[in-house]
Amino acid sequence: MADLIAQLNETTAFIRKQYPHEPVAGIVLGSGLGDFASQIEIEKELDYRDIPHFPTSTVEGHKGKLIFGKLSGKRVVAMAGRFHFYEGYSVEAITFPIRLMKFLGIKVLLLSNAAGGVNPAHKVGDLMIINDHISFGTLNPLIGKNIEQLGPRFPDMSEPYSKSLIAKAKAIANKQQIPVHEGVYFVVTGPTFETKAEYKMIHLLGADAVGMSTVQENIVAVHMGLPVFAISVITDLGIGHQETITHEEVLRAAKNAEPKLSILFKELIAEI
Ligand code: HPA
């Protein structure tokens, strides 16, 4: 485990050599949301496969690039493509890029994902600001010996998503006339979408949306004291309205909603 710190330092040094600036925000682009990268004034791009200790992405719809550049006049680092538990990666591998971004100097982390709506008020293409999560459905990435240098053994999870970033995002959404929901994200491992009974249970347990990412990234960020903002694009509806769900539909719905998410992220970064 001490190795992890050595790996993080090594990768940080590798990146600093090629990109000597400190990004203020880290951004993770979820399934179908990669087009957002075109908003960034790119200064440097690195393929995941060229970055030491980085896992490589395998899922369709994920480009697998770390992008450095300017957004709203601020320096950012964006992951076009993330790593999922269902791909077979260890939790350490999935969360390595998040820890790396903290080592690179980010002050806030913005996460995005495609998710299934289980709240009857949701429609395909809606945005939902995540204000809390339920993480029983996956492995906690902090299991194992705690690395004190990263954070405490028993992190407080009373504010996993920054209230002040949520308030800022809601004010932006209001001003830009972008309708947003706010709610609880339930994580599952995937890769199966949920059965009808599972969607129903997830709703009954108090969640509004369900997806296969984000929570492990959130947990390691909170562990390191990094404020997180996260948003879901509702790409399908788990209860009531929809008979079957495909990955293609998820990607299409996310792509269609991406311009709304772009405005929110851009404006939010302008205010950091
Ligand atoms: N369930 C889980 N993950 C998802 C879904 C879903 O319905 N939609 C997009 N990601």
User: Is residue 61 in contact with ligand 1, taking CB distance under 6 Å?
Assistant: no
> What confidence category does residue 37 fall into, taking pLDDT thresholds of 50, 70 and 90?
confident
Mutate to test the pocket of ligand 1, among 235, 249, 251 (most ligand atoms within 8 A of CB): 235
Instruction: Report, as an integer, the average pLDDT of 126-139.
Output: 95
**What is the pLDDT, as a whole number, of residue 49?**
87
**What is the pLDDT, as a whole number, of residue 106?**
98
Please list, residue by residue across 133-148, b when 16 or more beta carbons sit within 10 angstroms of its beta carbon and e when fewer do. Answer: bebebbeebbeeeebe
pLDDT tens string 59-110: 554 458 999 999 999 999 999 988 899 988 889 999 999 999 999 999 999 9
Q: How far is the CA of 48 from the centre of ligand 1 (A)?
A: 25
Of the chain, the percentage scoring pLDDT greater than 70 comes to 96
Token pair, residue 49, equals 């496969």
**What is the pLDDT, as a whole number, of residue 55?**
82
- Does position 223 have pLDDT exceeding 70, yes or no? yes
**What is the pLDDT, as a whole number, of residue 247?**
86
**What is the pLDDT, as a whole number, of residue 61?**
44
Under 8 Å between Cβ of 233 and 254? yes
Q: How far is the CA of 38 from the centre of ligand 1 (A)?
A: 25
**What is the pLDDT, as a whole number, of residue 2?**
53
Residues near 7 by beta carbon (within 8 Å), at least 6 away in sequence: 52, 53, 96
Least confident of 10-14, 59-63, 134-138, 179-183: 59-63
What is residue 111's DSSP assignment? E
**What is the pLDDT, as a whole number, of residue 242?**
64
User: Is residue 258 in contact with ligand 1, taking CB distance under 6 Å?
Assistant: no
Phi, psi of 116 (to 5 degrees): -90, 135
The CB-based long-range contact list for 221-226 (8 Å cut-off, 24+ gap) reads 221/98, 221/102, 221/109, 222/151, 222/155, 222/157, 222/160, 223/142, 223/150, 223/151, 223/152, 223/155, 224/99, 224/102, 224/150, 224/151, 225/151, 226/102, 226/106, 226/107, 226/108, 226/109
User: Is residue 245 in contact with ligand 1, taking CB distance under 6 Å?
Assistant: yes
For each of the domains in the chain, give its residue range(s) and CATH number, in order of start. Answer: 2-270 (3.40.50.1580)
Q: How far is the CA of 147 from the centre of ligand 1 (A)?
A: 32
Cα separation of 48 and 45, whole Å?
9
Average pLDDT, the chain: 92
Higher pLDDT, 81 or 270: 270
Number of the ligand 1 atom closest to the C-alpha atom of 193: 1
Q: How far is the CA of 9 from the centre of ligand 1 (A)?
A: 34
Q: How far is the CA of 65 from the centre of ligand 1 (A)?
A: 23
Q: How far is the CA of 211 from the centre of ligand 1 (A)?
A: 4
- Does position 205 have pLDDT exceeding 50, yes or no? yes
pLDDT tens string 227-268: 999 999 999 998 776 678 888 888 888 888 888 999 999 999
Phi, psi of 250 (to 5 degrees): -60, -45
- Residue 221's nearest CA partner among 88, 101, 87 is 101
Least confident of 26-35, 87-96, 123-132: 26-35
Higher pLDDT, 162 or 246: 162
